């Protein structure tokens, strides 16, 4: 049965924008009409939901998550890791079994919070190593099944402790790929495994064998980071994997001068390689340059109150605020672009659509808010889109394929 979402404002930039009614049918936006307060469910044969003037935008995506390590909703645990990457990895390995919930229950809990905040797609990395083997991966696969219909979830088989440094990890990663992982991951091939050729041979070899995409963590900066990124780009081109490769974090782009940023961005765009960020302090990506050159960018939340960091609360809209804040944005258009990264940008990465979001949100029938677009929607009680990001109010409605799945931060069932 069609649903009419009555009395909402379509990605409005002014508080006095006229209200509209959205008709959603078969999972998509079927019509957009001036708001008619007289719409009656019985007479029209539709389900009518009054949106009370809320701002409507496409739903968001958390396209860089670690649902198998978060501690959201659990007793606060003081941070005990050292500052090095290896120390953080080993601290997680030493403590992840000490949570108050099973890995499966915790993943469902965290993913439910993320979905209720307005994100209807999640890409999560599942740690696979010689310690946990497939335990964490299996937990995420089960959580994916449980939440089907509420959130679209992708799982990356992720060798967090390395492929060479943890010599037994590859055998378990291969089992995860056989069990249905959506993507293969990797981690700092040059500085962590210290053998970029072998590391990338394995990652790209698996991707080709199983016909899946790649999402590789790259924390490397400076000259080393440039070298590794160029290797990833070259292998993407050689393997014909344009549109199927994502570089998470990609800190190197925030560590080189503008001329080098542009050169690397143009290479990424030419090979349709996407980038994700978690809006960290101190290392910002050149968002405007990436948009200008045609690089797809998505937003994630990384770990949430986990053994790596005490930060994070599962609210993707608040992470949009953080993206705007860490970039020092003030203009509404720039702040709206951060929302675009989290909404259309994330969808284009997950669905491997090989181009950046373009055009006005309200005229985009592919991933925006025009007739024909998916009815994956976030409605927020706010004056404008920018106000919604600045205030991050609790009053929200979340729709997945036209079905109301969350209200005011809680799943509806």
Whether 158 maps to a domain, the answer reads: yes
Which of 271, 161, 253 has its CA nearest to residue 214?
271
Tokens of 282: 């101190």
Would strands 3-10 and 20-25 be described as parallel, antiparallel, or unpaired? Answer: antiparallel
Its sign, for the CA torsion 359, 362, 366, 368, is positive
* Same domain (yes/no): 106, 227: yes
The CATH number covering residue 138 comes to 3.20.20.140
Looking up tokens 């002014």 gives 14
Domain, as residue range, for 332: 60-350
* Last residue of one domain, picked from the residues 302, 327, 350: 350
pTM: 0.97
Q: Do the Cβ atoms of 48 and 40 come closer than 8 Å?
A: yes
- Could you tell me which of 391, 369, 362, 346 has the C-alpha nearest to residue 62? 346
**DSSP bridge pairs for 247:** 216, 275
CB 157 within 8 A of CB 185: yes
Query: Cβ neighbours of residue 401 under 8 Å, at least 6 residues apart?
Result: 27, 149, 374, 375, 376
Return the structure tokens found at 2. 């069609």
- Whether residues 277 and 179 share a domain: the answer is yes
CA distance 130 to 215: 21
Q: Are 141 and 174 within 8 A, CB to CB?
A: no
Residue 394 belongs to a domain: yes
Within a domain: residue 413? no
Residues 197 and 326 in one domain: yes
From first to last of its 413 residues, the chain has per-residue pLDDT tens of 899 999 999 999 999 999 999 999 999 999 999 998 775 654 456 799 999 999 999 999 999 999 999 999 999 999 999 999 999 999 999 999 999 999 999 999 999 999 999 999 999 999 999 999 999 999 999 999 999 999 999 999 999 999 999 999 999 999 999 999 999 999 999 999 999 999 999 999 999 999 999 999 999 999 999 999 999 999 999 999 999 999 999 999 999 999 999 999 999 999 999 999 999 998 999 999 999 999 999 999 999 999 999 999 999 999 999 999 999 999 999 999 999 999 999 999 999 887 766 678 999 999 999 999 999 999 999 999 999 999 999 999 999 999 999 999 999 97
């Amino acid at each position: 049965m069609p649903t009419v979402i009555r009395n909402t404002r379509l990605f409005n930039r002014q508080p006095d924008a006229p209200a509209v009614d959205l008709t959603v049918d078969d999972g998509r936006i079927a019509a957009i009409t001036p708001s008619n307060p007289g719409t009656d469910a019985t007479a029209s044969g539709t389900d009518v939901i009054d949106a009370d003037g809320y701002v409507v935008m496409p739903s968001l995506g958390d396209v860089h998550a670690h649902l198998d390590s978060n501690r959201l909703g659990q007793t606060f645990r003081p941070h005990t890791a050292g500052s090095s990457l290896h120390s953080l990895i080993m601290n997680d390995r030493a403590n992840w079994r000490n949570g108050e919930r099973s890995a499966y229950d915790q993943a469902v809990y965290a993913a439910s919070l993320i979905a209720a905040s307005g994100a209807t797609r999640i890409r999560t990395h599942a740690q696979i190593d010689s310690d946990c083997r497939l335990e964490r991966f299996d937990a995420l696969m089960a959580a994916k099944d449980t939440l089907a219909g509420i959130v679209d979830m992708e799982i990356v088989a992720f060798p967090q402790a390395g492929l060479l440094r943890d010599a037994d990890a590859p055998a378990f990663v291969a089992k995860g790929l056989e069990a249905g992982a959506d993507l293969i991951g990797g981690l700092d091939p040059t500085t962590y495994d210290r053998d970029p050729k072998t590391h990338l041979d394995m990652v790209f070899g698996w991707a080709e064998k199983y016909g899946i995409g790649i999402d590789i963590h790259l924390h490397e900066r400076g000259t080393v980071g440039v070298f590794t990124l160029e290797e990833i780009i070259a292998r993407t081109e050689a393997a014909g994997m344009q549109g199927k490769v994502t570089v998470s974090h990609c800190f190197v782009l925030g560590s080189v001068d503008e001329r080098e940023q542009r050169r690397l961005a143009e290479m990424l765009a030419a090979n349709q390689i996407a980038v994700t960020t978690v809006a960290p302090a101190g290392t910002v990506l050149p968002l405007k340059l990436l948009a200008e050159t045609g690089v797809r960018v998505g937003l994630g939340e990384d770990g949430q109150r986990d053994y790596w960091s005490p930060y994070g609360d599962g609210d993707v809209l608040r992470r949009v605020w953080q993206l705007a804040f860490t970039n020092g944005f003030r203009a509404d258009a720039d702040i709206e672009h951060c929302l675009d990264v989290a909404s259309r940008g994330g969808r284009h990465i997950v669905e491997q659509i090989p181009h950046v979001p373009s055009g006005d949100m309200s005229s985009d029938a592919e991933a925006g808010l025009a007739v024909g677009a998916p009815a994956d929607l976030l409605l927020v009680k706010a004056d404008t889109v920018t106000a919604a990001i600045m205030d991050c109010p609790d009053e929200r409605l979340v729709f997945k394929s036209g079905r109301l799945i969350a209200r005011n931060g809680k799943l509806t069932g």
